């Protein structure tokens, strides 16, 4: 194990640099229909016996506020937080349900000089509780040079009623995805994934789906996020 976050304490800031987590993407590219807030704003980030709760809520002004965590503070700087080349990355979490919820666990490559590497281990659209999405991207000038995706079926509501483990194992040759430690998809590793990756997890809203009828609040509960060295040389 190279990274072990159980959120017994919370090391978090808006933009770092001396905390384990920051609350915005390091490329100034926040997204979705809820504002990703700084720590201390509206009890979005709280800890409890089950780890970290990220709470999305609708304010008196009608605007939603929610949260994102990222393991680096600056793109292109491998010393600005946790990154790892190859290995197994895993989140154990219980996800919110309801049309418009859009939680995710994903990795991004630290080097964007020629392309941006993104691995969406899970994106869950809560309006469709029988499925989750896994996607591989390589972005060049804002366009997908590589786009591979899989929609996986699960027992309806199971991702919201219990904790599940979502994982990805990256090696030089293959990138393999796991639900509760069972592999469900494996692809050839593109060259752009052969670099240090950093970790993001968030509770976004929208993703192309309406949020008008969504009840407030919504909670994403993360029990842990961990990383392990890859087996072999």
pLDDT of residue 233: 52
224 pLDDT above the threshold of 90:
yes
**Both tokens assigned to 151:** 């929609």
Average pLDDT value for residue range 206-218? 95
- C-alpha distances (whole Å) from 55 to each of 34, 125, 159, 195, 204 are 11, 16, 17, 32, 10
Is residue 14 situated within a structural domain?
yes
DSSP state of 38: P
User: Quick one: pLDDT at residue 232?
Assistant: 59
Distances (CA, A) of 8 to 20, 62, 164, 166, 218: 13, 32, 19, 20, 21
- Average pLDDT over the chain reads 95
Q: What is the pLDDT of residue 21?
A: 98
Q: Say which DSSP state 99 is in.
A: T
Q: Is 220 a member of any domain?
A: yes
pLDDT > 70 fraction of the chain, expressed in percent and rounded: 99
pLDDT-based confidence at 227, cuts 50/70/90? very high
User: What are the b/e assignments for 172-181, b being 16+ CB within 10 Å?
Assistant: eeebbbbbee
Position 170 in a domain: yes
Is 16 within a domain?
Answer: yes
Asked whether residue 233 is assigned to any structural domain, the reply reads no
9 in any annotated domain: yes
Predicted confidence (pLDDT) per residue in 32-81, tens digit: 999 999 998 889 999 999 999 999 999 999 999 999 999 999 998 888 99
Is position 104 within any domain? yes
- In this structure, what CATH number is given to the domain that contains residue 115? 2.60.120.200
Q: What is the DSSP letter of 230?
A: P
For residue 18, being part of any structural domain is answered with yes
Domain that holds residue 65: 3-73+82-228
Number of structural domains (the chain) is: 1
Q: What number is the average pLDDT over the span 225-229?
A: 97
């Amino acid at each position: 194990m190279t990274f072990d976050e159980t959120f017994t304490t919370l090391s978090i800031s808006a933009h770092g640099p001396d905390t384990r987590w920051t609350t915005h993407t390091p490329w100034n590219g926040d997204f979705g229909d809820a504002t990703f807030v700084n720590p201390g704003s509206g009890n979005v980030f709280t800890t409890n016996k089950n780890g970290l709760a990220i709470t999305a809520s609708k304010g008196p002004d009608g605007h939603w506020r929610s949260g994102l965590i990222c393991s680096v503070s600056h793109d292109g700087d491998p010393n600005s937080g946790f990154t790892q080349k190859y290995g197994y990355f895993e989140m154990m979490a219980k996800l919110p349900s309801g049309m418009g919820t859009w939680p995710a666990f994903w990795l991004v490559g630290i080097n964007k000089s020629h392309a941006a590497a993104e691995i969406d281990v899970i994106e869950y659209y809560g309006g469709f509780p029988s499925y989750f999405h896994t996607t591989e991207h390589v972005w060049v000038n804002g366009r997908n040079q590589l786009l591979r995706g899989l929609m996986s079926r699960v027992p309806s509501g199971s991702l919201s009623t219990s904790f599940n483990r979502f994982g990805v194992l990256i090696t030089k040759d293959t990138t393999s995805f796991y639900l509760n430690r069972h592999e469900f998809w494996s692809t050839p590793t593109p060259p752009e994934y052969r670099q240090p990756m950093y970790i993001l997890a968030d509770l976004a809203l929208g993703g192309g789906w309406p949020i008008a009828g969504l009840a407030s609040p919504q909670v994403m509960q993360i029990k842990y996020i961990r990383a392990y060295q890859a087996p072999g040389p």
